[in-house]
Each structure stands twice: as structure tokens, then as C-alpha cells.
Amino acid sequence: MKWATRAGVHIDRAASAWLIRSRIDPDAVFTFIGDLDDLPDDATPFDIRGAALGHHNGDCTFEAILRHYDLADPILWQIAEIIHQADLDDDRYDAPEAAGLDVTLRGLSMICDDHHVLDLTAPLFDGLYTYKRQHLLLGREPA
Amino acid sequence: MATTVTAKGGTVRPWVLLSYRLPREPSTPRIAVWRKLERLGVARIGDGLVGLPDGNRTREQLEWVAEEITDAAGTATIWMATPGNRAQHQVISESMSAARAAEYRQIIAEAKAAAGTADDLARTQRRLRTALRSVQRRDYFPPPEREQAKIAVAGITTSSTTTAATT
């Protein structure tokens, strides 16, 4: 399936692309566009103004995707809190990881194109997921 | 980022503007939007017209506020604009700078007030660091108070060791 998002990806779009490819559509192909007007007919838009998979009711796109596809995995929702804070920084959640992740993504987007950012960040989010899973199972910070 | 050369040869940086209307009632979304715009540190250019210096991030921030406004049955449009002359740019940037300066002064005052007390200084420092970061994020035309506030907050715990040593 084809998916489209705005060019110049940052935290919310990188994390959403990871979520789509790892939990919704393993064959996802991503295109980066400037505007909803440039949307290819066969692509599902996300994190673009006017798209259902965008910011709504104070949620970021990552949260919108979790809701839309009924992904109830509590670890994904923990990651959603980090993405939300990194993207919106509105103090809705306590996610101290957010600030670091945000600058990491900002820096990457300065030296890589969008496809490369997705390739580099996928293992980062895989690792974050495993870390958060360990954390939940142990009930404390993993060693 | 593109700049426009004015008749006098000076350059004026582009801005991203959000023009919006929201129904008076219900008031909850109106207040939510107002708070969000305050948090972004927008220039209030007119009634229902706000702006930020243009950039990928600022454009995106205003686009999401626009989305929130249309979700709440309002209307919102995003515009790219350059001030007609440098004087106008100056007036707006100075008012934004002055607004941030006032916020920094508040932080400086709180830092100084804490230094002389028996309060939990490390905790006060943590709180003021958070406050400082959020002001810095909406600071597009840094006033001198920016650096002073940073020094004042950093000094909360160092001045406590001095106090402890002398007492």
C-alpha cells in the first residue's frame, strides 16, 4: 500500500511511518509531498492538515493512527506519550525522553533525506519498543 | 529561507500568518486555541490574525492550530507574507522580544527570591529550568534578559553553597 506524508519528516512522521510499516502494512511504500493537493490517488495521507490520520482533539498523528487502527498495545501507547511530548510539548504527559528524541530527529533531518531518516529511525523505534517492554515486565528501569 | 529585498535595499524575512475565526460559544475550544497560541509566542497582528517568523516548524505549528480551529467549527487560513517595510517588521519583532523579556524577568525575580530562602533550592531550580526552556522555545528575537535568566537559574544552587559556607 502507498502512504503519503509531508516532506521534511520529524518525530511524529518518522514514528508514524515506523508504526505503519511494523504494525499495519509491512509492504508500506512512503512518498513525501508538499501539500494534500499533491496526494497520489492511491495513497493514504498521514500527518497532513486535512487528513483523518493527523492532529485531532489534541492528539498527534501517532496517537490518531493507534486509535484509527485499534492498536491497543500498552507499550505503543507509552511510546505515543513520548512522541506526543516531542511533537507538541504541551505537558499532557510526563515523558522526559521526548526532548532528546526530538533534537536527535531534528539533527538527522538536517543531514539526511526523508527516506534515509525512516531507514535510520526504524531500528531506533524497535529498540525503544523493546526497552519499554522490558521496563513494563520488570517494573523498573532495565539494567 | 527566502528573503525579500525592499525598496531601500534592506531585507525582510518572511512570516507565516494564521487568520482565523472561531464561534464565541462554546468557549472551551476558544480558550484552548488562545492558550496554544500564547505557548507558541505568536505576534498578535490583528483581530484573529497572528504570525510567527516563517520556518518549517513554525509553519507546521500554525497549521495544526488551524486544524484544531476547523475541527471546532471555525475557519482558518495560513498565509505566507513579508512585511511591507522594515519598520513594520521592527515593530512586531520588538513587541515579541519585549513579551519574552517580561517572561525572563519574572524567572529572574523568582530565582533571586529563592536564593535567599531555606526552600528546596534544587527543586526550585528544576521548576525554573522547565519554565526557562518553554520561554526559550518561543523566543524568536532574543532580548538580553535571555542570557541573564539563564545565569540566574544556574546560580540558584551555586549561591546556596556560598550561603551554606558562610552560615
pLDDT score of B3 more than 60 = no
Closest CB from A49, A57, A90 relative to B66: A49
* pLDDT for B161 beyond 70: no
Query: Taking CA atoms, what residue in B is nearest to A51?
Result: B67
Q: What angle do CA A60, A8, A103 make, to 5 degrees?
A: 70
Residue B76 grid cell: 482558518
Cell of A49: 492538515
The pLDDT assigned to B121 comes to: 87
End-to-end CA distance of chain B: 55
User: Is B56 an 8 Å CB contact of chain A?
Assistant: yes
How high is the ipTM of this complex?
0.81
Burial class (CB in 10 A: 0-12, 13-18, 19+), B83: buried
Q: How confident is the model at residue A80 (pLDDT cuts 50, 70, 90)?
A: very high
Do the Cβ atoms of A55 and B39 come within 8 Å? no
Q: CA-CA distance, A111 to B119, in Å (whole number)?
A: 45
- Asked if the Cβ–Cβ distance from B39 to A58 is below 8 Å, we say no
Phi-psi region of A89 (alpha: psi -120 to 50; beta: other; left: phi over 0): left
Chain A hits for B32, CB-CB cut-off 8 Å, are 58
State chain A's mean pLDDT as an integer: 94
pLDDT band at B57 (very low <50, low <70, confident <90, very high): confident
Cell numbers describing residue A124? 531506533
pLDDT tens track for A11-62: 999 999 999 999 999 999 999 998 788 899 999 999 998 899 999 988 999 9
Please list every residue in chain B whose beta carbon sits closer than 8 Å to the beta carbon of residue A49.
63-64, 66-67
The string of DSSP codes covering B95-140 is HHHHHHHHHHHHHHHHHHHHHTS-S-HHHHHHHHHHHHHHHHHT-S
- Contact assignment for A50 to B67 by CB distance below 8 Å: yes
**A58–B67 C-beta distance less than 8 A:** no
**Whole-Å CA distances, A62 to A30, A65, A104, B61:** 16, 5, 18, 16
pLDDT > 70 in chain A, percent: 100
Residue B9: per-residue pLDDT: 45
Note the pTM of the prediction, 2 decimals. 0.84
As a whole number, mean pLDDT of residues B70-93 equals 93
Q: What is the pLDDT of residues B112-125, one digit of tens each?
A: 998 777 778 888 99
* Closest CA of chain A from B35, distance in Å: 10
Following CA atoms B93, B51, B38, B94 in sequence, which dihedral angle do they give, to the nearest 10 degrees? Answer: 10
Q: Give the pLDDT score at B115.
A: 77
The dihedral region occupied by A60, where left means phi > 0, alpha psi between -120 and 50, and beta the remainder, is beta
Tell whether A49 lies on the interface with B, counting CB pairs under 8 A.
Answer: yes
Distance CA B133, CA B139 (A): 10
Look up residue B122 and give its three cell numbers: 534544587
Is the Cβ pair A56, B67 closer than 8 Å?
Answer: yes
Distance CA B122, CA B116 (A): 13
> What does the block give as the cell for A141?
528501569
What pLDDT does B11 receive?
66
**Can you give the pLDDT at residue B109?**
96
Q: Is the per-residue pLDDT at B100 higher than 90? A: yes
Give residue A115's identity as a one-letter amino acid code: H
- CB of B155 closer than 8 Å to CB of B111: yes
Hey, is the C-beta of A54 within 8 angstroms of any chain B C-beta?
yes
Pick the residue from chain A with its C-alpha nearest to B35: A90
